């Protein structure tokens, strides 16, 4: 090899990431803990911010081996939902891009460079209402 190339060369070692595997007993105990946390019922009001007065249908399966469950929630409805579904609903968001004239003064480039994050649905527990 050329001595100039050896001086400017950088050697990196790449290693495959190892995943920590749980034993069968640890897996079942962790799954039981997650199920127990997920199944705590919360009473509250559902709001569909995108289509007020409408309804929101979705299907989910949180744990392996469970059947697929379909839920229909109506805007303004007060209902009991498992805590896992409440967390799922409160994390439904969308990105709204800002174009051209909507951008702040310093960045009038006309390309979608910024966005805001808005909630699409919300579940407010009765303790807060």
The total number of structural domains in the chain stands at 1
Where do runs of H (alpha helix) occur along 23-64?
24-38
Q: Out of 16-20, 23-27, 117-121, pick the least confident.
A: 16-20
For residue 96, give the nearest of 120, 121, 80 by alpha carbon: 120
Q: How confident is the model at residue 14 (pLDDT cuts 50, 70, 90)?
A: confident
Q: What's the rounded Cα separation, in Å, for the pair 55 and 50? A: 10
For residue 63, give the nearest of 86, 39, 80, 42 by alpha carbon: 39
Domain assignment of residue 13, yes or no? no
Domain assignment of residue 94, yes or no? yes
What's the N-to-C CA distance of the chain in angstroms? 73
**pTM to 2 decimal places:** 0.68
At residue 7, the pLDDT reads 64
Domain encompassing residue 105: 41-129
pLDDT tens-digit map of 33-63 = 999 999 999 999 999 988 888 999 999 898 8
At residue 116, the pLDDT reads 85
Domain assignment of residue 103, yes or no? yes
Domain assignment of residue 113, yes or no? yes
Q: Identify whether the C-beta of residue 86 lies closer than 8 Å to the C-beta of residue 42.
A: yes
Q: What's the rounded Cα separation, in Å, for the pair 28 and 64? A: 12
Domain assignment of residue 80, yes or no? yes
Phi-psi region of 100 (alpha: psi -120 to 50; beta: other; left: phi over 0): left
Domain assignment of residue 36, yes or no? no
């Amino acid at each position: 090899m050329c001595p100039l190339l050896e001086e400017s060369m950088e050697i990196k070692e790449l290693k495959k990431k190892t995943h920590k595997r749980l034993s069968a007993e640890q897996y079942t105990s962790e799954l039981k803990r997650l199920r127990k946390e997920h199944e705590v019922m919360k009473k509250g009001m559902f709001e569909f911010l995108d289509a007020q007065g409408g309804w929101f249908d979705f299907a989910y399966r949180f744990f392996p081996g469970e059947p697929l469950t379909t839920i229909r929630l109506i805007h303004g409805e007060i209902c009991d939902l498992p805590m896992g579904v409440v967390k799922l609903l409160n994390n439904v968001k969308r990105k709204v891009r800002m174009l051209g004239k909507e951008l702040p003064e310093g960045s009038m480039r006309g390309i979608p460079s910024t966005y805001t994050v808005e909630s699409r649905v919300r579940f407010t527990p009765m303790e807060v209402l």
